[in-house]
Amino acid sequence: MILLKTKEEIELIRDSARLLGKTLAEVGRHIQPGVTTAFLDNLGEQFIRDNGGIPLCKGYEGFPAAFCISVNDVVVHGIPSDNFFIKEGDNVSLDCVIEYNGYVSDSAYTFTCGETSSEMQRLLKVTKEALYIGLEKCKAGNRIGDIGHAVQQHCEKNGYSIVRELCGHGVGFKMHESPNVPNYGVPGTGSLLKEGMVIAVEPMVCMGSKNVVFSREDGWTCRTKDGKPAAHFEHTVAIGANGPDILTTFDFIEQQ
């Protein structure tokens, strides 16, 4: 069942989303060569808790960390480790879900560590563009397929591929709610978008093939099958009568 939110509830989700945006910025500014992904995770968890939030990824179906930290060919769900050191030129996706005052927000941003290749920069640019192109379709009267189609068209026309096994979702009261929000689709299909819906839109885009593999060792880590890089950007958004109300923000990251 799709759970609609009142205007008051959407404002409370926005409060959660603002703390999440500050958290991603705080962790992101510590991404540098030689830093471990576990260090970033610990720093982020402390920041969330110090500001009255709860990191919902930690303990979710056994996931051991507050952040999914995915580097280079890891698409999503990378598990932070004391043994994984970030290198110059890496792309590092931070994906986090928090609860604040009882309301939930979800966001992801792919950073680069120092200087990176022009190919990597272009992948990140197109993926982020695809997020906002998809968000433009988050208007009452449209359908879920309109969002996915817009994302897919932009990425594929630029020579990239869309992961099929993973998707966005409803959010706000819990981490994962209905409906699912794929990053591909057919216009005019899927659930009708209604004012009061809150969803997470999150393009997961591969430089090479769309095929992915999941780690047998940890059950979480999702990598590109061909070993080529991937990128991931995500916003929590409320469906408005006239367009999207983007609740999460990248402003704290991009003002640094």
Contact 66, 49 (CB under 8 A): no
| Domain membership flag for residue 1 | no
Structural domain contains residue 187: yes
Count structural domains, the chain.
1
Does this model's pTM top 0.75?
A: yes
pLDDT along the chain (256 residues), means of 10: 97 98 98 98 98 98 98 98 97 98 98 96 98 98 98 98 97 98 98 98 98 96 98 98 96 92
**What CATH number corresponds to the domain at position 202?**
3.90.230.10
Residue 2 lies in a domain: no
The parent domain of residue 157 ranges over 7-254
Q: How far apart are CA 143 and CA 115, in angstroms?
A: 40
In a domain, 69, yes or no: yes
Closest CA to 191 of 144, 129, 142: 144
Task: Report cis status (omega within 30 of 0) of the bond before 187.
Answer: no
Q: Is residue 138 part of a domain?
A: yes
Could you tell me the CA-to-CA distances from 1 to 60, 106, 141, 197, 220 in Å, in that order?
21, 20, 18, 11, 26
